[in-house]
Amino acid sequence: MTVIESETQRPATPAEVALLRHAAARGKVQVLPKCPVTGPDDFAVWYTPGVAAPCLAIRDDPLAVFAYTNKANTVAIVSDGTRVLGLGRIGPEAALPVMEGKALLFKYLGGVDAVPICLSTTDAAEIVRTTLALQPSFGGVNLEDIEQPKCFRVLEELRAAARIPVWHDDQQGSATVVLAGLLGALAVVGKELAAVRIVLVGMGAANVATLRLLIAAGVEPGAVVACDRRGTLHPGRGDIEAQAAVLPQKWAACTTTNADRVAGGVADALRGADVCIAFSHPGPGTVEPGWVAGMARDAVVFACANPVPEIWPAEALAAGARVVCTGRGDFPNQVNNSLGFPGIFRGVLDVRARTISDGMALAAARELAAFAAERGLRPDAVVPSMTDWLVHPRVAAATAAAAHDEGLAATWPGRDAVRDEAERTIAAARRSTQALLAAGCLSPQPPAGQSPTR
């Protein structure tokens, strides 16, 4: 690919390239037909008068909407723009490029049609009401980039009230992929999940969900020590107890984890620990090399902050860590949510699951870990690569099977059938993108020196 250069021939920075390409493409997603149109007569079938027939069929049998429309393959990506990537509260318009990017990943990796919906409200109750009102048009909802503690309330209320599956990728997606990476990392270092001591650095959306999924996977709650910016969590944290009504998940962590009642900060918590899972402030320096040196032999470190991890991988490895994972693609072991949500939603939509349970997320994590193991585990390869698209049909089948086993699936064609159909759907999405590119239907790279226009 040719590097875009400015008029002074200075190599463009990644940010400058992104601005040029976004301006040239006017965004990243569009709507295209999925039915053939060969002439005017086709519109009499696809629109009026022919469209009245499926409308009346759905009126008489509401479930027929899944047969006659694209509802079963359409997801709403809902955000209020209050916690966007590493950018924070930048607002709904500024969040739109991220949501479009998410829609691109949904389509290219999962064959799922996703619609970015950025809301002009930050009120939790209004977000819930608006999302519930969208249900007739969508087969599922992906909540994205909503600040805490509001995100916990929004997810819980929507999961309780919605007729379609609702997923918060910053919570459930992060937890699923981290668990997959942890299973691979522990296999490399020869330790068992039920026997390790784990430290969670940061107790925001990602690590609250990670704690819940770790326990579901077999980790003893008492073997986990969680830390926030004020130190370790334990029953003596009166500041958290005073906010228990607002932060129930955090207070629950105080009362159920940290059996040894470790007090102090992150350094104290990491002493002798086998695993560090950090979703905290961008570093470097959030996690010190000296703290990693004090961990157990063959330690595993997840430094997941973006854009800069809590500790640089080279520093963690030099301090004694055996496996290091980050959220970045320019280091080995990228624990990126895009390994999880495309396949998970593919499976959920294909069996019309009514929710996404922790058991389904756990099944997805185990399938991701199994896929990585089949490809060959190494200290620098404990999770699947984003370039291996066949992982997504596998995750779809595992998620769908778990939904069926838990009685959450409306249809069940069988695990192999779900996987095969997912392969066909995802392959078709990838081929269609390449066909549009080959036909010149996608915006070309802008010329050198071009500036974005309003």
Spell out the per-residue pLDDT of the chain, length 454, in tens. 344 444 456 678 888 999 999 998 999 999 999 999 999 999 999 999 999 999 999 999 999 999 999 999 999 999 999 999 878 999 999 999 999 999 999 999 999 999 999 999 999 999 999 999 999 999 999 999 999 999 999 999 999 999 999 999 999 999 999 999 999 999 999 999 999 999 999 999 999 999 999 999 999 999 999 999 999 999 999 999 999 999 999 999 999 999 999 999 999 999 999 999 999 999 999 999 999 999 999 999 999 998 899 999 999 999 999 999 999 989 999 999 999 999 999 999 999 999 999 999 999 999 999 999 999 999 999 999 988 999 999 999 999 999 999 999 999 999 999 999 999 999 999 999 999 999 999 876 655 555 544 4
Contacts of 417 (CB under 8 A, 6+ apart): none
User: Do 347 and 111 contact (CB within 8 A), yes or no?
Assistant: no
- pTM for the whole structure: 0.93
Q: What is the pLDDT of residue 450?
A: 52
The CATH T-level fold of domain 172-326 is: Rossmann fold (3.40.50)
Q: What is the pLDDT of residue 453?
A: 45
Q: Which amino acid is at 194?
A: A
Distances from the Cα of 346 to the Cαs of 66, 225, 337, 338, 352, in angstroms?
15, 34, 14, 12, 10
- Residue carrying the six token digits 């006659």: 68
Residue ranges of the domains in the chain?
Answer: 37-69, 172-326
Catalytic residue positions, numbered = 47, 102
What does the DSSP assignment read for 327-390? S-TTSSSB--GGGTHHHHHHHHHHTT-S---HHHHHHHHHHHHHHHHHH--BTTBSS--TT-TT
Q: How many residues in the chain? A: 454
